[in-house]
Amino acid sequence: MSEFAWFKLLVRLVGILLLGLSVPMVLWHVGSLAAQMIPSGPMSTSGSMEYALYSTVPGLLGYGAQAAFGWYLLVRGDWVIRKVLAEIHGRCAVCGFDLTGVKATSCPECNTPVRKSEQKAPEHT
């Protein structure tokens, strides 16, 4: 297994982790909102309904965003992979092909144009 494949696997695992952490919280918020929607008696007013909404929606949005990001990492994640792999010297940002010694302007493996920053990593530290 190449380093690139390992990195992709890692991104997927982080996606699963994020989903695992956020989806139960989304369900919990949805559940608590649904529970508060049910009229509980003469004491419940439209004011408490609004409060329930305002107190639940931020959490729902937050965990929803986390779940969405986790899902993105799980099923795609290509932007993240590109961004991080672009930092790795001499590797194609799309397929991870080793570009050391390759003089072509595009990747021989997947035909992605090679950026100069990927071909020549800065020598200084």
| Positions that interact with Zn ion (CB under 5 A) | 92, 94-95, 97, 107, 109-110, 112
Contact 99, 119 (CB under 8 A): yes
- CA dist., res. 15 & res. 11, Å (int): 6
Q: Which is nearer to Zn ion, 19 or 81 (CB)?
A: 81
Nearest distance from residue 122's CB to Zn ion, in Å?
21
Q: Measured on CA atoms in the order 6, 100, 117, 122, is the torsion positive or negative?
A: positive
Measured from the CB atom, the residue of 25 and 94 that comes closer to Zn ion is 94
Q: Which is nearer to Zn ion, 5 or 35 (CB)?
A: 5
Q: Residue 114 has what DSSP assignment?
A: P
Q: Give the nearest distance from C-beta 73 to Zn ion in angstroms.
A: 21
CA-atom Rg of the chain in angstroms: 23
Cβ at position 110, least distance to Zn ion in Å:
3
Contacts of 1 (CB under 8 A, 6+ apart): none
Question: Of 23 and 95, which CB lies nearer to Zn ion in the complex structure?
Answer: 95
Q: From the CB of 106, what's the least distance to Zn ion, in Å? A: 8
Q: How far apart are CA 23 and CA 21, in angstroms?
A: 6
